[in-house]
Amino acid sequence: MEYYSQRATKGGLLIAEATGVSSDAQGMSVIPHTPGIWTKEQVEAWKPIVDAVHAKGGIIFCQIWHVGRASDMEERPISSTSKPIEKTEENYFLDFSTPRSLTVEEIPDVIKHFTLAAKNALEAGFDGVEVHAANGFLLDQFMKDGVNGRANEYGGSVESRCRFALEVVDAVAAEVGADRTGVRLSPYSRCLDCADSDPDALAVHMARALSMRGVIYCNVVEPEMVATPAADGAGAGMARIPHRLRAVREAFGGTLMVGGGYDRDEGNWAVAGGYADLVVYGRLFLANPDLPRRFRLGAPLNGYDRATFYTADPVAGYTDYPFLDDGGGLAAAAAAAAASSNKSGDQDGV
């Protein structure tokens, strides 16, 4: 509760951590003690957390997920495929379990799990839910052709590969309302050995489909590194291509949220220029519980400690990051921010 309360501000939107929709939706030991929201007990446990955010005038959405094959537990996980995640440094050197391919007959049950989780989230007091269809987890495993090799109605074309994710979105929106349903996408990500051969086409297809459904927002992760043809045409290379989501902006008519490596100035640029409606901050917000205030004042930021990202310690790297000093340093930061604003006319994009 303290973590979310620390970061709650009037009018600010918090998206809670990934929250399991069923007992078999969990599974990564590298991320211990992830929460769930499929039981009454879990609903009751979330209520004081949500209340603490609302007490400060904040808004909070529950991010609901299923890890799919991203499991290293004993029980055989489900996925779009029977291929396990490759054991690499990027994938935490884990021995991931070999999944079994989810049958068509089983898909409605998984959709019901997402629907129940969404219903429970609103019962817990959340203002809405975010369907996690990103970062190499179950719905992403269906959407991307680097994983999904199915030959039925849930594989093959981009439309068929996206069918499962959109059926989940439809069911969740029918339960809680499209105006309380957001969706997270990472079409360019290769996280957890989950990549697509044409991420631009995947991104635009999902953006159009979600726009037609009237979901309240689409939260898209910017690519950090994108595969590109080599200059001499002899092979492929990797390059950082910032602001790759312009086609998504054109395809999606709702509130577009973008994230991935943004700082304050770039976030302001993205919103002021119409590239996005909102900018999402993760690592910076983790390390700076008063991030909106620091951005407003142009104050220095705490650095984050990557080594504590996935530990189970309830304090270290979680609730012990310092707030901005209310002494002379704050006054100096405010003066610097005022001078900068008078000079450049900056607007906060947070």
Structure confidence at residue 239 (pLDDT) = 57
* Residue-by-residue DSSP string for 157-224: SHHHHTHHHHHHHHHHHHHH-GGGEEEEE-TT--GGG---S-HHHHHHHHHHHHHHHT-SEEEEEPPS
| Contacting residues for 90 by C-beta, under 8 A, at least 6 apart | 190, 191
pLDDT in tens, the chain (350 residues): 999 999 999 999 999 999 999 999 997 766 767 999 999 999 999 999 999 999 999 999 999 999 999 987 778 999 999 999 998 877 767 788 999 999 999 999 999 999 999 999 999 999 999 999 999 999 999 999 999 999 999 999 999 999 999 999 999 999 999 999 999 999 999 999 999 999 999 999 999 999 999 999 999 999 875 555 544 444 555 556 668 999 999 999 999 999 998 999 999 999 999 999 999 999 999 999 999 999 999 999 999 999 999 888 899 999 999 999 855 455 555 555 555 544 333 333 33
Pairing of strands 78-79, 278-280: unpaired
Cα separation of 87 and 98, whole Å? Answer: 12
CATH 3.20.20.70 fits 2-280, yes or no: yes
CA 296 to chain centre: 24
Closest residue by Cα to residue 188 from 173, 201, 199: 199
Per-residue burial over 130-161, b = 16 or more CB atoms within 10 Å of its CB, e = otherwise: bbbbbbbbbbbbbbbbebbebeeebbeebebb
pLDDT in tens, 172-198: 999 999 999 999 999 999 999 999 999
Kind plus residue range of the DSSP H or E element containing 129: strand 128-133
What torsion do the CA atoms of 53, 18, 249, 270 make, to the nearest 10 degrees?
50
- Helix axis angle, 163-176 to 107-123, nearest 10°: 30
Please answer whether residues 192 and 91 qualify as being in contact, where contact means their C-beta atoms are separated by less than 8 angstroms.
yes
Q: Which two tokens stand for residue 308?
A: 């504590």
The per-residue pLDDT for range 232-266, each reduced to its tens digit, is 444 555 556 668 999 999 999 999 999 998 999 99
- State CA 127 to chain mean position distance: 17
Question: Helices 163-176 and 199-213 sit at what angle, rounded to 10 degrees?
Answer: 20
Q: What is the pTM of this model?
A: 0.90
Which stretches of the chain are DSSP H helices? 2-7, 40-55, 107-123, 138-143, 158-161, 163-176, 199-213, 246-251, 264-272, 283-287, 291-297, 328-344
Rounded to 5°, the CA angle 16-20-21 comes to 115
Residue 331 pLDDT: 56
Predicted confidence at residue 72, as pLDDT, reads 77
- Which phi and psi angles does 18 have, rounded to 5°? -55, 130
